[in-house]
Amino acid sequence: MNILKNVYRSTDCGSLRLVDAGKTETLAGFVDTIRKLGGITFLVLRDYYGKTQVILPEDCICELNKEDVVSIKGVVRERSSKNPNMPTGDIELVAEEIKILGKCEQALPFEIKSSQDVNEDLRLKYRYLDLRADYNKEMLKLRSDLMLHVRNFMHNLGFLEVQTPILTASSPEGARDFLVPSRLNPGKFYALPQAPQQFKQLLMTSGVDKYFQIAPCFRDEDARADRSPTEFYQIDMEMAFATQEEVFKVIEELYASIFERFAGKRPVTPFARMTYEDAIKNYCSDKPDLRNPLTVADVTDVFKNTTFNAFNGNVIKAIKVNCGGLGRKFYDSLTEFLKSREAKGLAYVHVTEEGEFETGITKFITPEQKQALSNMLKYKAGDTIFFVADEKAKVIKYADVLRNELGKRLNLIDNSAYNFVWIVDFPFYELDDDGNIAFSHNPFSMPQASIEEVKKDPLKAKAYQYDLVINGYESLSGGVRNHNPNMMVELFALAGLDKSVVENKFPALYNAFSYGAPPHCGAGAGFDRLMMLLTHNEFIRDVIAFPMNKNGCDPLTNAPNNVDDKLLRDVHIQLIKE
């Protein structure tokens, strides 16, 4: 118990026990429930710390509503009918004096206990009521405890906590910036930081050895279940005179401590490693959920001379799984699901007890192709082989979607488990939609080869870039930074960007590196996504105190909203009406 004892309360609603019987105490909180039984009025009083049953005197003239805020003085006594589901279930408070501190004068828009079942915009409009629910209080407590745990852990390892600017310059970092107009500099804008990337690298050039912060980051992106559309928090860190292995060691120790403390006895696997190339080859994803045992095979060569039009000229991926005798309805719904994700369709064959194929496309599969599939997939009686076919980029996407959906529908995933895998060796470059060389991940990463070797075949170059994937979610991204300004210019040139781009878009980094910079590397880990994993929430909005909705709007404050013309004039902005 850590409360202020005053005229409103002498203890909290979660602390009283049988040993307190006979004491006079004062509680304060919200009226959780009210019920009458045989002329006696019972209410449950709720505060941040817990709940206590209160017996109201028969001559009580207070008209109480649920969610009224009250202070109640009374005598603690043993309950005749105990409640083993409440920590305070052995006692009750017999009220002698009641003071109404805050009246709930309006009908509640929803039941507090079941607010999770309410329309999201309604919940967010009355978020202050939604947060009264026990599960949300537990979420806020966990969030606070996790943040403190991370801070203490990093401080104990000698990391220096530094706050980097919120108003900075716009720079091309992948997502859209949120822009802030400058009143004192007409026509110019600040940007909210997408990440503290440049500043933490500048700290390394400043002589800071190990930096971290739990940093707010802002990106104007579309919402997803696992991504906030406006802002999020990131556990950001950077180390001077370090290699990839040192970063891995720190992160693995940090995450092991987090999951040991906050995930209870749930199984935590060791940190595996997988190259980007193997992840795409075997799982069609650079963030595979390894709790799912299914793998993907490329069978394009098997069907290179096929007469099946859906396969002809396409890249073909196959997944083998035993569906346990599920009927036609399962396969039809799976096909429709894949089509809803923009795939053209889904083909499949069943393996009979005799080892033969059956279903519609069997007539297109030759004995030679059947044998090749057997050698590659090792199928057996009762298995189903699913096929998706399309151009390379699309078929990788659809195979990933199919693998994940099969894992869910067939209950192949242990939802209590946590599986960690480092994805390493990302390609440095890729071809853009126009067939030109472009950066594939982070232009500030260090290549794993000399600049001369990179120039010989840029598309074969690998980067010291890494992601930590947990249960199919990218939890962290980082890399070894390129601290050589001359090499940086040459690498940008390979992507068709001349020296002026580096100098003008990233002047602070480029100039700082020219004064001598130590080798350095680091990472940024999504704090909110980590909370999602620890609480087994499907939506990231459920682990944020005051989130935006899926449209990037806040029904509570009506943000974003219109502003007065005078404010626009002050910052030299004129709106263009569409």
d(CA 112, CA 150): 31
Say how far apart CA 76 and CA 119 lie, in whole Å.
40
Each residue's pLDDT expressed in tens, for the chain with a length of 578 residues: 678 899 999 999 999 999 999 999 999 999 999 998 877 899 999 999 999 999 998 777 678 999 999 999 999 999 999 999 999 999 999 999 999 999 999 999 999 999 999 999 999 999 999 999 999 999 999 999 999 999 999 999 999 999 999 999 987 656 789 999 999 999 999 999 999 999 999 999 999 999 999 999 999 988 887 888 899 999 999 999 999 999 999 999 999 999 999 997 666 778 999 999 999 999 999 999 999 999 999 999 999 989 899 998 999 999 999 988 788 899 999 999 999 999 999 999 999 999 999 887 999 999 999 999 999 999 999 999 999 999 999 999 999 999 999 999 999 999 889 999 999 999 999 998 888 999 988 888 999 999 999 999 999 999 999 999 999 999 999 999 999 999 999 999 999 999 988 888 888 899 999 999 999 999 999 999 999 999 999 889 999 999 999 899 999 999 999 999 899 999 999 888 87
pLDDT, position 173: 59
**How far apart, in whole angstroms, are the C-alpha atoms of residue 419 and residue 269?**
5
Instruction: From residue 406, give the alpha-carbon distance in Å to each of 266, 295, 386, 470.
Output: 23, 11, 10, 19
Q: Judge residue 484's burial from the number of C-beta atoms within 10 Å of its C-beta, 0-12 exposed, 13-18 middle, 19 or more buried.
A: middle
pLDDT in tens, 404-419: 999 999 999 998 899 9
Assign a CATH topology to domain 18-102: OB fold (Dihydrolipoamide Acetyltransferase, E2P) (2.40.50)
Entry pTM:
0.92
Output the CA torsion 527→528→532→537 (10° steps). Answer: 170
Question: CB of 449 within 8 A of CB of 481?
Answer: no
Helix ranges restricted to H, 351-506: 367-377, 392-409, 451-456, 485-494, 499-505
Per-domain boundaries in the chain: 18-102, 116-266+520-578, 293-409
Token digits of residue 27: 């509680």
The amino acid that residue 253 corresponds to is E
pLDDT at position 326: 84
Residues 33 and 44 sit within 8 Å (Cβ to Cβ): yes
Omega of the bond leading into 518 within 30 degrees of 0 (cis): no
Is 293-409 in CATH node 3.30.1360.30?
yes
- What phi and psi, each to the nearest 5 degrees, are found at residue 268? -120, 115
CA angle 161, 215, 135 (to 5 degrees): 115
- CATH 3.30.930.10 is the classification of domain 116-266+520-578: yes
Q: What pLDDT does residue 174 have?
A: 66
Q: Identity (one letter) of the amino acid at 312?
A: N
DSSP string, 368-397: HHHHHHHHHH---TTEEEEEEEESHHHHHH
